[in-house]
């Protein structure tokens, strides 16, 4: 029965996606945007304001790369140890970790990406989460079972499926009558 339910959900979602895809405008109705300005347009801009006139492009020296990074100071040995602890946990969407922060809050979720200065913990099903720098951690993250978080994610998925099933007849009627094609 379980596989039959998933088959029905897959069929309904495929019908919903095809109805939405047919509602989009054909590509021949969309004209491409111009890639260069005509001389008349440049002259019109120049007459509006001298600051809008095209300027001579001058080569400039690019600042060193470390100015573009989020972290402007080197990691401390403690931060490096915490980074290695996070890397040892790895990125797994099904392994939940608890991160205790210095501001006495905690974040529970799955580590989805690990960088040199920070890592991302996904706390919900839509990609929402927290970007945590290693300096914010009060202790190394530890794996947890997170039954409550799993339950919350399951309820969110159930809500999305229920809304999709509830709205499917509406989109089916709108697709059949041709209202969505206009």
Residue 155, in any domain of the structure: yes
Confidence (pLDDT) at 163: 93
Confidence (pLDDT) at 159: 92
Say how many C-beta atoms besides its own lie within 10 A of residue 116's C-beta: 12
**134 with 152, same domain?**
no
Q: What is the pTM of this model?
A: 0.52
- Burial (CB < 10 A; 0-12, 13-18, 19+), residue 109, is buried
Residue 117 sits in a domain of what CATH number? 2.30.30.100
Confidence (pLDDT) at 76: 84
Residue 166, in any domain of the structure: yes
| Percent helix, strand and coil across the chain, each to the nearest 5 | 50, 15, 35
Which residues of the chain are modeled with pLDDT < 70? 1-4, 6, 11-12, 15-35, 45, 49-73, 180-182
Confidence (pLDDT) at 123: 86
All residues at 6 or more sequence positions from 18 whose CB lies less than 8 Å from its CB, including other chains: none
| Domain total of the chain | 2
Residue 21, in any domain of the structure: no
Residue 23, in any domain of the structure: no
Q: Where are the alpha helices (DSSP H) in 39-146?
A: 39-48, 77-89
**93 with 133, same domain?**
yes
Among the listed residues 167, 135, 177, the one whose alpha carbon sits nearest the alpha carbon of residue 17: 167
**134 with 85, same domain?**
yes
**125 with 157, same domain?**
no
Residue 46, in any domain of the structure: no
Distance in angstroms (rounded) separating the CA atoms of residues 93 and 20: 30
**138 with 159, same domain?**
no
**94 with 151, same domain?**
no
Say how many C-beta atoms besides its own lie within 10 A of residue 64's C-beta: 7
For residue 104, give its domain range: 77-144
**89 with 132, same domain?**
yes
Q: Where are the alpha helices (DSSP H) in the chain?
A: 2-22, 39-48, 77-89, 147-177
Distances (CA, A) of 87 to 115, 120, 127: 9, 12, 20
């Amino acid at each position: 029965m379980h596989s039959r339910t998933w088959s029905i959900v897959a069929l309904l979602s495929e019908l919903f996606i095809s109805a939405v895809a047919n509602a989009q405008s054909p590509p021949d109705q969309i004209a491409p945007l111009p890639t260069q300005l005509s001389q008349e347009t440049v002259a019109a801009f120049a007459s509006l304001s001298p600051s809008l006139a095209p300027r001579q492009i001058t080569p400039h020296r690019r600042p060193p790369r470390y100015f573009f990074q989020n972290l402007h100071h080197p990691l401390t040995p403690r931060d490096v140890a915490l980074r290695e602890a996070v890397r040892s946990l790895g990125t797994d969407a099904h392994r939940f970790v608890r991160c205790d922060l210095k501001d006495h809050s905690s974040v529970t979720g799955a580590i989805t990406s690990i960088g040199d200065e920070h890592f991302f913990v996904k706390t919900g099903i839509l990609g929402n989460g927290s970007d945590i720098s290693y300096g914010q951690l009060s202790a190394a993250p530890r794996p947890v079972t997170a039954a409550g978080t799993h339950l919350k994610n399951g309820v969110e998925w159930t809500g999305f499926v229920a809304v999709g099933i509830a709205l499917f007849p509406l989109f089916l009627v709108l697709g059949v009558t041709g209202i969505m094609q206009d």
